[in-house]
């Protein structure tokens, strides 16, 4: 008989409906179904995982067989792992089931999406695309302690894309929103129009000459900074493995006292989880507190490995049928007290980066890169020339010290994070002023 | 009706028959996988993961409208078929639709499967052990993690036009991360065939790049001749090129190459061809996921754009023939991508003359797919000369335009690396802006 020190079973029953329209026609509208269970056993030393699909939680015989199978797999590892004993907490419940959304006819949602797409079809716009998706995930969790948890979460999203063309030049812009709960695409008509206007404006935007300069990050790209530069380096597995520049610096001042960065799975954002992939319900976790490395995000395993005082469990997340990894949820830079005008005036001459096209980090080196949708030159405290294809890179420890102002109003943006598996996240920030940043662009290429 | 085919206890004939009563055409594509992943932390095994799954993709056509659905829950096959029929009612008519492909002669060739490959923890542990042996060559660097995934699978395609095709495949993916002080290194490789992999080299590269990137210097912001590794060239240049020749992007006006067929889009010295059965590649595709035969396709010849990539739907919309480039996504729709791009350009010893060598780029996915403009950060970058890395570089941001690079004096290495969708050489790009 193989040793079983702990086991858990996480079954996810999923149904996703998606609609895509292109240039006013319905490109596709489809459904996909999944039902996958991950059976996880902590054996004498390490973990065994078995993904089974489909799986019936009420079939006790099948459950026993799956646990025994995972236990056999767990007999192979040689690295000793433990799980920290932590309270399960109380699962947070937002209006996430969205039954009304599910019951609305697909025809109605398709018409609404076409209406949204039409709003982006301004003169000068050569192509448009719109996408809508709603995903229902029912999670059933139980573990070796007899603990059981259930959740039912609906996530919905829209994306609208506009391509502007003029005399052979083309520029593209997109807007998206993704929420936990219901969403009506017709509520975003204004966003679709502004998406198209920005694409048209980008036709006359200039490429930015790269170099070091003062920079203002808008809430969207400030959020990506919080996620990429600080969030990934605060993940317990990176800290445990010695590949985070923040790992050895717990309690150390690594940034300006204005900087407080929080991850909160209980927040009503796109990264909301009632409980994590280990059944733990977590609340806000202050990763950076007034510039000091404060806490790391953990799974039960990394908490046990790094130390119970090093942070909080409840941050293990997983795609259906996949092993839990330490992940972010809703991550943001806390608001400061500066007005937008004050930030512009303080910057005087530099660059304003707006929106995010994504980013990436190497937490071991502490180097990150992210790309803005567009930007503006700042001259004498005012925004002037529009700029396209602006990116920013830097090393985490320098840039955190360069934050000298944080705005009063924070906004969150939604997206997916792809650390081996894709999970929904949100991130946000107020406007953030960096006294110096490395800005990249093809302006002097 | 096609020959009788059953897959994973799914009666495809019965499903086709049921679907035929609801729609004009029905297509079912199944993909079944068994895989095993062994992970290590440091150089010791930390977990073993076993996974088995069957995905079933439905497409139906009613009045030239295509409906789609997919399920990994085989207890929901009837619901999924019904959802595809409902989906067709919502879709717009596909102008020019000629039906799903019919039974036709498929090019000869073998499937990309290593028949001798065994999916077992012992086999996977053998790969890890060999990677660790390679990593030990640079003991100052420490392997952080490593993983081996071994998988075998089988896909079956049937449709009501008589197509009945089966394809078997295998894959071994190896990867290792290493760190040395504040410097990181990473290497990976994958292949259907065990004999093509060199686990020792993967381990050695991971610790070499971690070790050799220490003490990097800051370099002047100016234009350099930059050499992209195979991985960097694939992530940045071939990724955007593939999007630009994608028939869907052409039709929807989201490509700089739209309307430029038979026009000059690259240097006259550059030719790019998709070779699905390229022996050195890993695709070995005789037909795509719709059953269209896959043939060699010249995309750029001597700088002139020759062809776009199409699946059956986009080909119909463009009034062209499918080029056999349909792949599948999670919801059952098709996506278009190349099988095995091969690049012909002037060859040289790309590291002989002074250059900035870039092993990895950070943020390749943030490049502008429409205009080709990029500004990305480098990782494991070196000033190089005479085939040697002279000096590691601490930080270098690279800015340029992929489509302009293809028009310039690009040179490539003779040796290539087989990556997903391409045989990729190192690429030397003159006068690239470094910030």
Distance CA B425, CA B410 (A): 11
Q: Which residues contact A61 (CB under 8 A, 6 or more apart)?
A: none
Question: A193 and A217, same structural domain?
Answer: no
d(CA A175, CA A6) in angstroms, rounded, equals 45
Q: Is B215 on the interface with A (CB under 8 A)?
A: no
Give the span between the Cα atoms of A391 and A236, in whole angstroms: 28
Nearest to B269 by CA among B372, B408, B403, B402: B408
* Tokens describing residue B161: 């036009």
Q: Is residue A1 part of a domain?
A: no
Confidence band of A1 (pLDDT split at 50, 70, 90): low
Is A342 a member of any domain? yes
Interface of B with A in 42-81 (CB under 8 A): 42, 44-54, 66-76, 79-80
Contact A310, A296 (CB under 8 A): yes
How many CB atoms are closer than 10 A to CB B403?
18
* Alpha carbon of B399: minimum distance to chain A alpha carbons (Å): 5
The whole-number pLDDT of residue A358 equals: 86
Structure tokens at B70: 């997919």
Mean pLDDT, rounded, of chain A: 94
Asked whether A246 and A233 are in contact (CB, 8 A), the reply is yes
Token readout for A117 is 């797409």
Domain that holds residue A247: 207-442
CA separation for the pair A406, A339 (Å, rounded): 8
CB A90 within 8 A of CB B110: no
Q: How many CB atoms lie within 10 A of CB A229?
A: 27
Among all residues of chain B, which has the CA nearest to that of A125?
Answer: B253
Q: Which residues contact A60 (CB under 8 A, 6 or more apart)?
A: none
What stretches of A84-235 show up as alpha helix (H) in DSSP?
A: 99-103, 106-119, 189-202, 219-225
Residue A49 to residue B370, Cβ atoms within 8 A: no
pLDDT at A95: 65
Q: Can you say how many angstroms the Cα of residue A122 is from the centroid of all Cα atoms in its chain? A: 31
| Helices within A1-103 (DSSP H only) | 60-74, 99-103
pLDDT of A444 > 70? The answer is no
Digit-by-digit pLDDT tens for chain B (435 residues) are 344 444 667 999 999 999 999 999 999 999 999 999 999 999 999 999 999 999 999 999 999 999 999 999 999 999 999 999 999 999 999 999 999 999 999 999 999 999 999 999 999 999 999 999 999 999 999 999 999 999 999 999 999 999 999 999 999 999 999 999 989 999 999 999 999 999 999 999 999 999 999 999 999 999 999 999 999 999 999 999 999 999 999 999 899 999 999 999 999 999 999 999 999 999 999 999 999 999 999 999 999 999 999 999 999 999 999 999 999 988 889 999 999 999 999 999 999 999 999 999 998 888 999 999 999 999 999 999 999 999 999 989 999 999 999 999 999 999 999 999 999 999 999 999 999
- Is B258 part of the contact surface with chain A (CB cutoff 8 Å)? no
How large is the C-alpha radius of gyration of chain B?
23
Cβ–Cβ contact A170 with B under 8 A: yes
- Tell me the DSSP string of B228-257: E-HHHHIIIIIHHHHHHTBHHHHHTT--TT
CATH 3.30.2290.10 fits B6-206, yes or no: yes
What b/e readout covers B246-283, taking b as 16+ CB neighbours within 10 angstroms?
bbbbbbbbbbbbbeeeeeebbbeebbbbbbbbbeebbb
Distance from CA of A44 to the nearest CA of B (A): 12
Q: Which chain B residue shows the shortest CA-CA distance from A24?
A: B92
- The whole-angstrom separation of Cα B64 and Cα B88 is 9
C-alpha–C-alpha distance, residues B116 and B404, integer Å:
45
Residues A167 and A215 in one domain: no
pLDDT, residue B2, reads: 40
Is residue A176 domain-shared with residue A215, that is, in the same domain? no
Q: Which residues contact B133 (CB under 8 A, 6 or more apart)?
A: B200, B203
Show residues of chain A in contact with B54, CB under 8 Å: 53
Phi, psi of B20 (to 5 degrees): -65, -25
Cα separation, B374 vs B362, in Å, equals 11
Q: Which of A170, A243, A364 minimises the CB distance to B371?
A: A170
B-contacting residues in A 408-437 (Cβ below 8 Å)? none
Boundary residue ending a domain (A154, A184, A202)? A202
Q: Are residues A175 and A245 in the same domain?
A: no
What ipTM does this complex have? 0.93
* Residue A82: count of CB within 10 angstroms of its CB: 14
Element (DSSP H or E) covering residue B378 = strand B373-385
N-term to C-term CA, chain A: 66
CA distance linking residue A71 with residue B149, whole number of Å: 19
CATH of the domain at A86: 3.30.2290.10
For an interface test with B, the pick among A7, A21, A29, A322 (most B C-beta atoms closer than 10 Å) comes out as A29
Does A74 contact chain B (CB < 8 Å)?
yes
| Interatomic CA distance for residues B86 and A109, integer angstroms | 14
Count of alpha carbons within 13 angstroms of residue B48, beta-carbon side: 25
Residues in chain A: 445
Sign of CA dihedral B70, B74, B79, B85: positive
One domain for residues A195 and A259: no
Residue A189: pLDDT above 90?
yes
B242: its two tokens: 């593939």
Contacts of A241 in chain B (CB under 8 A): 41, 144-145
Q: Residue A139 above 90 pLDDT?
A: yes
How confident is the model over A46-59, as a mean pLDDT? Answer: 94
Q: Which of A167, A202, A237 is the last residue of a domain?
A: A202
Tokens standing for B59?
């497409």
Question: Which residues in A lie closer than 8 A to residue B75 (C-beta atoms)?
Answer: 35, 54
List, in order, residues 6 or more apart from A108 with CB less than 8 Å away.
none
Set of chain A residues whose Cβ sits within 8 Å of the Cβ of B68: 28-30
Q: What are phi and psi of A376, to 5 degrees?
A: -135, 145
3-state secondary structure of A380: coil
Please list every residue in chain B whose beta carbon sits closer than 8 Å to the beta carbon of residue A69. Answer: 50
The DSSP symbol for B4 reads: -
pLDDT digits (tens, 9 = 90+) for A262-278: 999 999 999 999 999 99
Q: In what helix (H) or strand (E) does residue A441 lie, and over which residues does it extend?
A: strand A432-442
Q: Is residue A110 part of a domain?
A: yes
Phi, psi for A177 (deg, rounded to 5):
-145, 150
Q: Are A62 and A55 in contact (CB under 8 A)?
A: yes
Mutate to test the interface with A, among B331, B393, B429 (most CBs of A within 10 A): B331
**Of the candidates A30, A54, A77, which has its C-beta nearest B46's C-beta?**
A77
The pLDDT of residue B7 is 60
The Cα-based distances of A401 to A227, A435, B246 in angstroms read 17, 9, 44
Answer whether A81 sits within 8 Å of B86, measured CB to CB: no
Longest dimension (CA), chain B: 69
Cβ separation of A358 and B365 shorter than 8 Å?
yes
Alpha helices in B142-246 (DSSP H): 199-212, 230-233, 239-244
Region A396-418 average pLDDT: 95
Question: Which pLDDT score is estimated for A443?
Answer: 67
Task: Considering only the beta carbons, identify the residue of B68, B76, B376 that sits closest to A33.
Answer: B76
Which residues in chain A have Cβ-Cβ distances shorter than 8 Å to B87?
Answer: 28-31
pLDDT at B3: 43
Contact A31 B145 (CB under 8 A): no
Can you count the helices (H) and strands (E) in chain B?
A: 9, 22
Q: Which pLDDT score, from 0 to 100, does residue A360 have?
A: 87
Residues of A in contact with B70 (CB under 8 A): 30-33
Do B145 and A241 contact (CB within 8 A), yes or no? yes
Residue A407 lies in a domain: yes
Same domain flag for A95 and A147: yes
Q: Do A30 and B183 touch (CB under 8 A)?
A: no
Query: Considering Cα of A206, then A209, then A213, then A215, what sign does the dihedral take?
Result: positive
Q: Are residues A37 and A177 in the same domain?
A: yes
Place of tokens 């009503």: A268
Assess if residue A55 is contained within a domain. Answer: yes
Q: pLDDT tens, A311-369?
A: 999 999 999 999 999 999 999 999 999 999 999 999 999 999 999 988 888 888 888 88
Identity of the residue in B76, B365, B399 whose CB atom sits nearest the CB atom of A445: B399
Average pLDDT over residues A199-219: 94
d(CA B140, CA B135): 10
Helical (H) or strand (E) element with A29: strand A25-42
CB atoms within 10 A of CB A134: 21
Enumerate residues 343 to 372 of chain A having a beta carbon within 8 A of any beta carbon in chain B.
357-362, 364-371
Nearest Cβ partner for A34 among B71, B182, B377: B71
**Which three-class secondary structure string do you get for A262-275?**
EECCCCCCCCCCCC
Judge whether A191 and A116 are in contact, CB under 8 Å. no
Contact A411, A431 (CB under 8 A): no
Q: Would you state the pLDDT for residue A445?
A: 54
Range list of β-strands (E), A167-241:
169-180, 206-207, 209-217
Contact (Cβ atoms closer than 8 angstroms) between residue A300 and residue A86: yes
Per the CB < 8 Å rule, is B80 touching A395? no
Within an 8 Å CB–CB cutoff, is residue B104 touching chain A? no
The shortest CB-CB distance from A370 to any of B67, B363, B379 is to: B363
Q: How many domains does chain A have?
A: 2
Q: Where in chain B is the domain with CATH 3.30.2290.10?
A: 6-206
A344 in a domain, yes or no?
A: yes
Query: Which of residues B10 and A97 earns the better pLDDT score?
Result: B10
Tell me which residues of chain A, numbers 182 to 221, contact chain B at a CB-CB cutoff of 8 Å: 207, 210-211
Distances (CA, A) of A418 to A42, A306, B68, B338: 26, 24, 26, 23
Contacts of B188 in chain A (CB under 8 A): none
Distance from CA of B258 to the nearest CA of A (A): 10
Does A385 reside within a domain?
A: yes
Could you say which DSSP state residue A254 is in?
Answer: -
Among A202, A235, A259, residue at a domain's last position = A202
| A307, A295 Cβ separation under 8 angstroms | no
The pLDDT confidence band at residue A94, using thresholds 50, 70 and 90, is confident
- CB-nearest to B45 from A35, A77, A207 is A77
Chain B hits for A34, CB-CB cut-off 8 Å, are 71-73
Cross-chain CB nearest to B363 (options A73, A242, A369) = A369
* B359, B370, B396, B432, best to mutate vs chain A, most A CBs in 10 Å: B370
């Amino acid at each position: 008989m193989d040793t079983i020190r702990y086991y858990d079973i996480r079954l996810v029953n999923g149904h996703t409906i998606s609609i895509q329209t292109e240039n006013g026609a319905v490109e596709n509208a489809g459904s996909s179904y999944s039902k996958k269970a991950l059976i996880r056993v902590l054996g004498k030393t390490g973990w065994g995982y078995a993904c089974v699909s489909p799986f019936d939680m009420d079939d006790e015989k099948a459950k026993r067989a799956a646990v025994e199978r995972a236990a056999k797999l767990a007999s192979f590892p040689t690295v000793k792992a433990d799980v920290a004993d932590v309270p399960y907490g109380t699962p947070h419940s937002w209006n996430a089931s969205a039954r009304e959304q599910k019951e609305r006819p697909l025809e109605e949602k398709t018409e609404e999406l076409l209406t949204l797409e039409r709003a982006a079809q301004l003169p000068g716009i050569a192509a448009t695309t719109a996408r809508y998706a709603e995903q229902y995930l029912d999670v059933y969790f139980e573990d070796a302690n007899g603990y059981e948890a259930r959740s039912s979460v609906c996530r919905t999203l829209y994306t609208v894309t506009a391509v502007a063309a003029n005399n052979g030049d083309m520029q593209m812009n997109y807007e998206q929103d993704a929420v936990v709960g219901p969403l009506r695409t017709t509520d975003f008509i204004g966003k679709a129009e502004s998406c198209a206007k920005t694409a048209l404006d980008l036709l006359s935007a200039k490429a930015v000459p790269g170099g070091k300069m003062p920079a203002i990050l808008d809430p969207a790209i400030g959020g990506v900074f919080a996620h990429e530069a600080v969030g990934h380096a605060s993940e317990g597995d990176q800290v445990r493995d010695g590949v985070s520049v923040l790992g050895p610096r717990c309690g150390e001042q690594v940034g300006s006292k204005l900087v407080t960065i929080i991850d909160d799975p209980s927040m009503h954002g796109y990264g909301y989880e009632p409980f994590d992939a280990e059944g733990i319900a977590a609340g806000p976790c202050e990763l950076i507190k007034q510039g000091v490395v404060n806490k790391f995000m953990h799974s039960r395993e990394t908490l046990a490995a790094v130390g119970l005082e090093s942070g909080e469990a409840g941050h293990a997340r997983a795609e259906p049928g996949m092993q839990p990894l330490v992940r972010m949820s809703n991550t943001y830079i806390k608001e400061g007290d500066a007005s937008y005008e004050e930030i512009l005036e303080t910057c005087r001459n530099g660059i304003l980066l707006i929106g995010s096209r994504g980013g990436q980090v190497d937490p071991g080196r502490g180097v990150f890169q992210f790309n803005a949708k567009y930007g503006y030159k700042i001259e004498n405290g005012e925004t002037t020339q529009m700029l396209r294809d602006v990116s920013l890179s830097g090393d985490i420890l320098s840039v955190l010290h360069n934050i000298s102002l944080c705005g009063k109003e924070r906004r969150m943006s939604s997206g997916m994070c792809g650390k081996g598996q894709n999970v929904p996240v949100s991130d946000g920030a107020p406007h953030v002023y960096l006294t110096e940043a490395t800005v990249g662009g093809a302006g002097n290429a | 009706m096609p020959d009788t085919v059953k897959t994973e206890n799914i009666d495809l004939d019965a499903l086709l028959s049921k679907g035929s009563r609801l729609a004009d055409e029905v297509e079912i594509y199944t993909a079944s996988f068994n895989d095993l992943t062994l992970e290590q932390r440091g150089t010791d095994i930390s977990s073993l993961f076993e996974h088995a799954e069957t995905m079933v993709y439905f497409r139906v056509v009613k009045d030239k409208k295509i409906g789609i659905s997919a399920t990994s829950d085989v207890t929901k096959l009837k619901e999924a078929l019904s959802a595809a029929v409902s989906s067709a009612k919502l879709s717009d008519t596909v102008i020019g639709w000629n039906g799903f492909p019919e039974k036709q002669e498929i090019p000869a060739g073998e499937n990309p499967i290593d028949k001798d490959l065994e999916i077992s923890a012992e086999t996977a542990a053998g790969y890890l052990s060999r990677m660790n042996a390679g990593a030990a060559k640079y003991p100052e660097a420490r392997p952080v993690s490593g993983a081996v995934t071994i998988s075998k699978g089988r896909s079956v395609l049937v449709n009501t036009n008589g197509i009945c095709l089966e394809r078997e495949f295998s894959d071994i993916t190896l990867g290792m991360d290493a760190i040395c002080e504040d410097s990181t290194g990473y290497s990976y490789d994958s292949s259907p065939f065990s004999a093509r992999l060199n686990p020792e080299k993967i381990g050695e590269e991971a610790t070499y790049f971690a070790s050799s990137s220490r003490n990097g210097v800051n370099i002047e912001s100016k234009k350099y001749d930059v050499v992209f590794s195979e991985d960097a060239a694939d992530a940045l240049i071939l990724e955007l090129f593939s999007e630009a020749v994608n028939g869907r992007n052409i039709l929807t006006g989201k490509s700089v190459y739209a309307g430029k067929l038979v026009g000059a889009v690259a240097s006259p010295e550059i030719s790019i061809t998709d070779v699905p059965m390229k022996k050195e590649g890993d695709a070995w595709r005789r037909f795509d996921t719709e059953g269209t035969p896959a043939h060699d396709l010249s995309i750029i010849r001597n700088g002139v754009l020759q062809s776009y990539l199409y699946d059956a739907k986009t080909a119909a919309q463009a009034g062209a023939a499918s080029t056999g480039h349909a792949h599948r996504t999670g919801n059952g729709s098709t996506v278009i991508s190349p099988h095995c791009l091969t690049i012909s350009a002037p060859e040289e010893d790309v590291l002989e003359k002074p250059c900035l060598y870039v092993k990895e780029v950070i943020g390749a996915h943030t490049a502008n797919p429409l205009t080709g403009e990029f500004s990305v950060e480098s990782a494991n970058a070196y000033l190089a000369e005479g085939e040697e890395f002279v000096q590691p570089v601490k930080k270098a941001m690279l800015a340029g335009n992929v489509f302009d690079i293809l028009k310039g004096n690009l040179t490539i290495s003779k040796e290539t690396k087989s990556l997903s969708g391409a045989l990729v050489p190192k690429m030397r790009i003159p006068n690239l802006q470094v910030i």
